[in-house]
Structure 1
Amino acid sequence: MPADVRAQIPPDVVEIERALSRVAHLLSRARQHHQTAAEAGVPVDRAAVPILRLLAEAGPQRSGDIAARLAVEAPHVTRQVQRLEGAGYVERLPDPADRRAYRVRLTPAGREAVERVLDVGRQSILQALAGWDPAERAQLATLFDRMVDDFVRLAAERGILPR
């Protein structure tokens, strides 16, 4: 990026990017995942957690739809689904709209596993923000939701995520 364009970026945007980068790094570290998985008692790969979460939030999905929604390659999802199926966390069922296709859905064990992982992560957030007033946390949650919605919209406009 040319220096004159870089100079036009407001300092608050620079600070937001810096903070997001630091948070993303902290949350995506393998060591962090292993700690969370161990505390939750859920032995899954780091790459499997977004799939479990998506299925918990959106219900049964085709593998291709999972890949599109997570912006990853389909073979990646296929491998993870096979591992999750072997662990008893998901099952593949015929798609009622197309009997040649399959939908992936959580099993009761998978639902329990994802809830435990999310509980551990949420407890960590609560501990990290222990000094925050509940109103400050609520404001942060509102602003984060708004920011994520805007990021998703921009990614869809750029063709990075499906609309």
Structure 2
Amino acid sequence: MVELERALARVAYLLTRVRRHDRAMLECGLTLDRASVPLLRLLADADEPMRLGELATRLDVEAPHVTRQIQRLEKSGYVERVADPDDRRAQLARPTDSGRRAMEAVRQVMRGWMRDALADWSSADLKALAVLNHRMVDDFLDHAEIIGDFGATARERPTRTA
């Protein structure tokens, strides 16, 4: 378990480095801040607009943080707010076409980096890595009450393939 924890800490560190984010933004030609990327990713992956409170819960951050980020993304033209049809007092957020294109550009850069870094891995090893990572995240989510809520829900879980 110690080596697994160390490996996960290294991955988390690599994925959240400021320089990596800045380089990705430069390659994409975007000016998204680091906090906006997970929010925009979540919105782009959603089937329908989401309440700001739900976004905060899923990202495991405070609601005012999401409100500020949504305002920034709105000013940049990546997100728009719409009235909640079930509660006109509430607002929902959804990505604009520009926001979806921006998120896809970020994903393409990240996938390119992964492709380059893992170029020597076999297809079987890459598939096994993906399957095991999904399994690990699913198990973490199943034990969220013990290790803390990761902000994800069952709806976000990809279907496992063996």
Q: TM-score, normalised by structure 1?
A: 0.88
Q: 1:47 to 1:143 in 2, by over 3 A?
A: same
Work out the number of aligned pairs and report it. 151
Number of the residue aligned with 1:39: 27
Question: Taking structure 1 as reference, are residues 128 and 159 closer, same or farther at Cα in structure 2, changes over 3 Å only?
Answer: closer
Amino acid of the residue matched to residue 97 of structure 1?
Answer: D
**Alpha-carbon distance in 1 for matches of 2:81, 2:8:** 36
1:137 equivalent in structure 2: 126
Q: Can you list the C-alpha shifts for 1:101-155, whole angstroms capped at 9, x where unaligned?
A: 0000000000000010011111111111011001100110010111111112222
4+ residue segments displaced more than 6 Å = none
Aligned CA-pair RMSD:
1.4
CA displacement, residues 47-66 of structure 1 (integer Å, 9 cap, x when unaligned):
00111110111231111000
1:156–1:52 distance in 2 versus 1, CA, 3 Å = farther
Runs of 5+ consecutive residues of structure 2 not aligned to the other structure: 154-162
Residue 26 of structure 1 aligns with which residue? 14
Q: CA separation in 1, counterparts of 2:51 and 2:34?
A: 20
Report the AA paired with residue 39 of structure 1: E
Once the two structures are superposed, the pairs formed by residues 44-59 of structure 1 within 5 Å of their partners are 44-58=32-46, 59=48
Deviations 1:73-115 (A, max 9, x none): 1011001000000000000000111111000000000000001
- 1-side partners of 2:152 and 2:12: how far apart? 22
Q: Percent identity?
A: 54
Rg comparison, structure with higher value: 1
Contact 1:156 1:162 in 2 (8 A): no
**Measured at CA, do residues 120 and 31 of structure 1 come closer, stay the same or move farther in structure 2, by a change above 3 Å?**
same
Name the CA distance, whole Å, in 1 between partners of 2:16 and 2:54: 23
- In structure 2, distance between residues paired with 1:67 and 1:27: 20
Contact 1:92 1:104 in 2 (8 A): yes
Instruction: Give 5+ residue unaligned stretches, structure 1.
Output: 1-12
| Aligned-pair CA distance for 1:159 | 5.5
Cα distance in 1 between the residues matched to 2:106 and 2:143: 29
Asked if 1:17 corresponds to 2:10, the answer is no
